[in-house]
Structure 1
Amino acid sequence: MTARQQIKTYPGVPYPMGVSVTRDGRLNFAAALRTKEECGVLLYLKDRGAPVRLPFHMGKKVGNIYCLQVDGLTGSDFKYNFYAGDEVITDPYAAVIYGNEKWGRRVSPALKGGICAEGFDWGEDRPPMTPLSDSILYLLHVRGFTRHISSGVEHKGTYAGIMEKIPYLKELGITAVELMPSCEFLELEREKRQEPTMEEAKKRYMEDPEAEETPRINYWGYKEGYYFAPKFSYAASDHPAEEFKSLVKALHAAGIELIMQFYFPPSVKQTYILEVIRHWVLEYHVDGFHLLGMKVPVVLLATEPMLGNTKLFCEEMPCGDIYENGETPVYKNLASYNDSFLYPMRGFLKGDENMLPSVLSCLKRNPSQAGVINYITNYSGFSLADLVSYDGKHNEENGEDNRDGSDSNFSWNCGAEGKTRKKAVLRLRRRQMKNAMLLLLTAQGTPMIVSGDEFGFSHRGNNNPYCQDNAVNWLDWRLAEENGDFLAFVKSAVAIRKAHPILHCPEELTMLDYLSCGFPDLSYHGEEAWKLRTDRQSRIAGLMYCGSYAKRNRQEDDESFYIAYNMHWEEHDFALPALPEGRTWMRILDTFEEETAEKETEKDAAVRAAENTSDGLGTGPKDQGESETAEAYGGEGKHTRVPGRSIRILVSRGQALPQKQAGPSGSRSRKADVKEDAKRPGRGKARASRPLAGPEKDRPDEIQKAGPKDSE
């Protein structure tokens, strides 16, 4: 009996698309084909040469969808394609894609589809559904995250490798992992080359007229793919679907969500995109999606009832078209994901003028209908270490004569381009990296950290490493130990943010004292309390967050915070708002603290402590992430002196704030005053400024003091 005679066919149903198993165990094939030629299914059976052809006319057609059912097969017996005339078509709905199982190798002449094994044991799996306000996102590339030999995992560069790193993610404080494209795509592409001259073209032809272009790797995967199938070469086993499900299940057990990135070019139909998202939610329990592309149907997806608890991120969220009459969502699952945070913060970080108004807006921004995803680095552009080490891009390894990648990086090398041994430069870079992390983690939106930034991984100045499947992109985990002090700092900053709800509120703060407690929820300060200069030359800001407006564990008031941002190259005195009797400001985190510990003698430390410490010290209980040593500041008219290019976090400790405490102007309900004044306040004046215009013109104090003794 032939294979064709063993297979029985029946009329099919037009939905779901692709291949599905019916209740009676048959396989239903459905394909949308616009053709007048004969079309059908090609079955590639085990141990058989030519495929079995099953024409669709044996089934039925609904609209442009052809369908038929097959009896006598199981999922492990076959692979399949569709055909229309002489054209072989790989099913865009295939749950598994065969023919591209090994990363970076040429695919077979035609990819083939397959189906997933049934019966995955999800157990008690439940989505964490972490609110956006409580989320810490972590962007990673499946292959690059653990491919390096230093990763210490058994299954390098795979979904299983990520599972082995879950304890690290938990320790870091991550609540959601965002995967760069992880559906099946063809990574081998023709190499991009500059158009050859006539002489070069003639020489190439004379040497080998039939030579093929050298393929290159599309490492990132932002291209059209097979969106229903997880990427086979990212699996350690021969069962990518099951391994991906195991990853989701393991992350959920650790309280971590999984967000997937998808890039959809304009040619992809909008209804197909909706089916893709539904598939990954139902089949893989994925928690959210970052959608990239010019024609993503955001409103369609955002209003789909099935996705009401699924996080959806896109460049701009059109809330006016999604929510009627200003309504707010029951579960805030939508967020805008763009560079609006990145550029102002980078400019502020390197000391550009006229950045403060935009920075204050970014720190406060937190709309009620949709969240905002904040980041200071992303997969494209400089890594955090490169942001403070390079003035310009160095993309020569990409083979495009350094023409690719953005020229607008808003970066500053701190006095030396690339690698250096100058201690002053290295100290400043380390401090700038800490400043960048605190700018990100003290903003009210949802922070996104790029994998490797937490321990100073560098792409060697390449701001567009889309084709680098090597150590340029593979995380070097030895840096986690070499830069352990910085990694510990990041962990502390994340822990402080997570422990205090006033630092990540569900909605935007109002800057009003609507509790009549004497303090607004957010207020701005500078060299004078309750007054902040926002003119072009101002590079400092003190933000007070009143803990009475947030509850810890939904019971007790949170503590109040004062965050002093000084991105000027000179030190400044920050005026501290007077606290009620019995409370003091305690310093818990400082980006300059490590340098102070390295340089100052015991006598210097005693003098500094005497200058900054008030009478009536009170340490109070120490929360997770806070420094063991804390200076206290209390009473009216007190200041904290913050060194140039550094950030200091103070917390209010002591007895609880009284319910009726008059504010600085005696008002019970008012907006914090922001004074735009070109004149320097007389109170708490910083030391006289020298003629220094910032990183774009001169080098900072640390480098000027280092002199020529430091060598490369």
Structure 2
Amino acid sequence: MTENDNLQMKPYPMNDRAEGERVCFSFVSRTASCGIMLYDRGTGRLLKKIPFTEKDRTGYVYCRTVENIDVKTNTYLFYEEDRLVPDERAKVFPQRTGYGRERSIADLKAGFDTGEFDWGEDCFPRIPYSQMIGYCLHVRGFTRHASSGVRDRGTFSGIREKIPYLKEIGVTTLELQPAYEFMEVPLKEEQRLPLMTPFGIMEETSAGRLNYWGYKRGYYYAPKAAYAAAEDAPREFRELVRALHEERMELVMQFYFPGDVNQNEIAPILHYWVKAYHVDGFHLLGENLPIDLLASDDLLADTKLWYCHFDTARIYGKAEQPLYPHLGEYNDTWYYEMRKFLKGDGNMLGSVLYHMRHIPEKAGDIHYLTNYFGLTLADMVSYDYKHNEINGEENRDGNDYNASWNCGEEGTSRRQSVKKLRIKQMKNAMCLLLLSQSAPLIFMGDEFANSQKGNNNPYCQDNAVAWLDWKDAKKNAEMLEFWKLLIAFRHRHPILHPDRELRLMDYLACGYPDLSYHGKYAWQPQTENGCRHVGIMLCGKYAKFGSGSDDTFLYIAMNMHWESHKLALPRLPKGMKWEAAFSTENGIGTKTDLREEENSEWQRNIAPRSIQVYVSVPVKEKKARGTVEK
């Protein structure tokens, strides 16, 4: 048996496989008359029609090795009877078509990706969830606006140009909305088709409707050509991943699999992106996914997998502890509970305290207040209702309930009191996000209050509604600086990002539990239905700095009521005192130092709808009169 025969008898993996001038093609078909159409890439001229034979078939899979193919100048389509069929497992579509332009099947001739790329010393960062700061973005929308200042706007290269900015604001992990090949405009041959969004199938839409987000069945092995500035989309994507890894940053890709996708195909798709593109993880979306099998996949054991829920007890059993906990729960529970608390709803405190400390066993928890769906951070405090009229669905699309509050006036406001309150509410939201003990994630631009004008479902808006306006970074510099302050504060205090859930116990016998709650009086939290304020103390003795020394004590005073409330701070160990670090009401500094009251409790009046954070500091010894400080 020759090497060529051996290659021909192996239909898996199902992609084309090039070895020199030989290519092994695999195609699934239930018709007897099918084969390969080989074209010249430059002219589009048909070079050869190669039928599959009965000898090529195993089940419904046809597999054949073809000699004398120039992988640099040849492209191909499959055919069934008299119908041309694009290769749904193609690795690259070299014929460039501008984003949003209508394409035909003839435009989807597949090329060959040899995988040739100098990865150098590239390695996977494998950032633990306790250290992760996530940032979800749309590849095109992130830099397409002229204000982005990048050379290659709306592309993988555009993201690469923004890596210094992302690193500056503390991002460790990028999550990309669908960046594999998909048809943002239906093919010319398709007259009508259902439009799928994460909220379900919408009513039938005519050809030409733009699917900006890309949540539909795609060509899952190929990076989206229209997201590349150069002709070689695979190379540009690899350059992005390599550049991120050089800065010890990760890339996680969203993959949406509708119900008609063969479940057996999903694992090979993920394997391919890990091996060919060094992707760090996947956020899995879709219907009837084989989640347990993917979570137990040995090749993906070091790859982040995000899904709405994992049953780790069933996946791992009671005894097994994963070497690298790679599973991450990603659902909207935190999203809604925190939004309702932020706007002042009652009976939320118990849920909020649970979500702020919760870390699933043997997994991570991705928490967020904003995402690609729903209102942005700025719109969450500016609109009570969705405003999706521009989508052309008579405002029926998108979620009707957003747990948002407009702070007194719908939309843009000139009232200083409303504008001031909105800024404070956005800062409160950032505090809830970054002072919680799991893995935070935001949507692009929320760090500087980007707005989508109240549109909570811009699935078809390839324009300024969905593009990130980078001028807001300067316009809303106060928000951006507060975000940076919080990121730095979180990194400085390991007690804010432990690798497992805090236990509310003094298991070190140090006199303090790792986590405790307080009300008007220390150690006595008020959790009645109408209570919207609480003090949270984190004991630094349960977390270590890199030097091995203990972290400080932290106290987070939260009041989401429209009236001020007193909160007590517990006494610290001898030689330490509380000092104000920052406040969403007063900013940064220690102008609000505490004074001990007669009842020996330390209390502080917390302003309405505000968060005040304190840290423990050493008490400076008073100098005796006449002595000189050394």
TM-score over 0.5 (shorter chain): yes
User: How many Å separate the matches in 2 of 1:26 and 1:475?
Assistant: 45
Does residue 1:437 correspond to 2:430, yes or no? yes
2:478 aligned residue = 485
**In terms of mean alpha carbon deviation, does 504-513 or 327-336 score higher?**
327-336
Displacement of 1:498: 1.8
Does residue 1:33 correspond to 2:47, yes or no? no
2:169 aligns with one of 166, 169, 172: 172
2:455 aligns with one of 455, 459, 462: 462
User: How many Å separate the matches in 1 of 2:570 and 2:414?
Assistant: 42
Aligned length: 601
- Show CA shifts across 1:520-570 (max 9, x none): 000001111001111111000111110110111161111111001110111
Displacement of 1:58: 8.1
Paired residue type of 1:569: W
Does residue 1:89 correspond to 2:69, yes or no? no
Does residue 1:392 correspond to 2:410, yes or no? no
User: How many Å separate the matches in 1 of 2:473 and 2:192?
Assistant: 34
Displacement of 1:51: 4.5
- Show CA shifts across 1:645-686 (max 9, x none): 000111111279xxxxxxxxxxxxxxxxxxxxxxxxxxxxxx
1:652 aligns with one of 593, 596, 616: 616
1:148 aligned residue = 145
Equivalent pair of 1:389/1:429 in contact (CA under 8 Å): yes
Displacement of 1:100: 6.0
User: How many Å separate the matches in 1 of 2:134 and 2:171?
Assistant: 6
Unaligned runs of 5+ in 1: 1-7, 194-211, 598-604, 616-632, 657-712
Displacement of 1:98: 4.4
Equivalent pair of 1:579/1:636 in contact (CA under 8 Å): no
1:639 aligns with one of 593, 603, 610: 603
RMSD: 2.4
1:624 aligned residue = none
1:316 aligns with one of 304, 309, 313: 309
Equivalent pair of 2:541/2:550 in contact (CA under 8 Å): yes
User: How many Å separate the matches in 2 of 1:555 and 1:634?
Assistant: 38
Equivalent pair of 2:356/2:436 in contact (CA under 8 Å): yes
1:697 aligned residue = none
Paired residue type of 1:105: R
Query: Secondary structure of 2:328's match?
Result: strand
Equivalent pair of 2:96/2:231 in contact (CA under 8 Å): no
- Show CA shifts across 1:158-209 (max 9, x none): 000000000000000000000000000000148999xxxxxxxxxxxxxxxx
2:99 aligns with one of 99, 103, 114: 103
Does residue 1:67 correspond to 2:63, yes or no? yes
Paired residue type of 1:121: D
Equivalent pair of 1:9/1:71 in contact (CA under 8 Å): no
Give aligned-pair identity as a percent. 48
Change (3 A) 1:396 1:181: same
2:116 aligns with one of 115, 119, 140: 119
Equivalent pair of 1:12/1:28 in contact (CA under 8 Å): no
- Show CA shifts across 1:483-507 (max 9, x none): 1011000011111112211001100
- Show CA shifts across 1:211-263 (max 9, x none): x9562211111110000000000000000000000000001111110000010
User: How many Å separate the matches in 1 of 2:355 and 2:8?
Assistant: 58
Displacement of 1:328: 2.6
Equivalent pair of 1:13/1:68 in contact (CA under 8 Å): no
2:623 aligned residue = none
Query: Secondary structure of 1:329's match?
Result: coil
User: How many Å separate the matches in 1 of 2:451 and 2:8?
Assistant: 58
Displacement of 1:34: 2.0
Equivalent pair of 2:13/2:268 in contact (CA under 8 Å): no
2:134 aligned residue = 137
1:613 aligned residue = 594
User: How does 1:525-540 map onto structure 2 within 5 Å?
Assistant: 525-540=518-533
Paired residue type of 2:156: Y
1:188 aligns with one of 170, 185, 190: 185
User: How many Å separate the matches in 2 of 1:11 and 1:511?
Assistant: 62
User: How does 1:549-568 map onto structure 2 within 5 Å?
Assistant: 549-553=542-546, 555-568=548-561
Unaligned runs of 5+ in 2: 195-204, 621-630
User: How many Å separate the matches in 2 of 1:100 and 1:413?
Assistant: 44
User: How many Å separate the matches in 1 of 2:423 and 2:193?
Assistant: 36
2:202 aligned residue = none
Change (3 A) 1:109 1:93: closer
Paired residue type of 2:594: T
Paired residue type of 1:653: V
User: How many Å separate the matches in 1 of 2:167 and 2:208?
Assistant: 39
Query: Secondary structure of 2:230's match?
Result: coil
User: How many Å separate the matches in 1 of 2:229 and 2:40?
Assistant: 25
User: How many Å separate the matches in 1 of 2:473 and 2:598?
Assistant: 38
Paired residue type of 1:528: Y
Displacement of 1:62: 2.6
Paired residue type of 2:302: N
2:12 aligned residue = 15
